[in-house]
């Protein structure tokens, strides 16, 4: 996304100062700016291109690393949900087998209900 800013100032004698600032997240400068740079300093065009290539490689490396971390985060979340479900259901069965069938049923119901609500809320948050 490109952002441009232009500021102008004038004094009482009529002198004017204009400052342009342009922020662009594109990987390479626009052709018009490269041509202007080539007209002014032709040796810097190669430097700009090589720096742009290095930045592109760095961005690809960062994006790959971020994708790996997101994958690990989601995998750990899923494994945690499975562990929580197994412990809740096992606790409910244990309570049910030791003379507390209502408590066991409540524990199992709350465990499954909580996981279902969490799963449905997660899907609605990522879509919205």
Total count of domains within the chain: 1
What pTM did the predictor assign? 0.58
Question: Is the separation of the CB atoms in 110 and 88 below 8 Å?
Answer: yes
The residue range of the domain holding 80 is 3-127
Q: Is 96 left (phi over 0), alpha (psi -120 to 50) or beta?
A: alpha
Residues 6 or more apart whose CB falls under 8 angstroms from that of 26 comprise: 2
List pLDDT tens digits, range 1-15: 567 788 888 888 888
List pLDDT tens digits, range 14-69: 888 888 776 666 666 677 777 888 887 888 888 888 888 898 899 899 999 999 99
């Amino acid at each position: 996304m490109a952002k441009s800013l232009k500021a102008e100032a004038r004094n009482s004698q009529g002198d004017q100062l204009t400052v342009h600032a342009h922020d662009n997240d594109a990987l390479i400068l626009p052709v018009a700016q490269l041509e202007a740079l080539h007209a002014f300093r032709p040796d810097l065009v190669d430097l700009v291109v090589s720096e742009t290539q290095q930045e592109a490689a760095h961005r690809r490396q960062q994006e790959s690393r971020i994708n790996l971390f997101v994958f690990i985060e989601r995998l750990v979340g899923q494994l945690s949900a499975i562990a929580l479900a197994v412990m809740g259901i096992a606790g409910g069965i244990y309570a049910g087998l030791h003379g507390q069938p209502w408590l066991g049923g409540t524990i199992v119901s709350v465990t499954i209900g909580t996981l279902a609500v969490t799963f449905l809320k997660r899907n609605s948050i990522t879509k919205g």
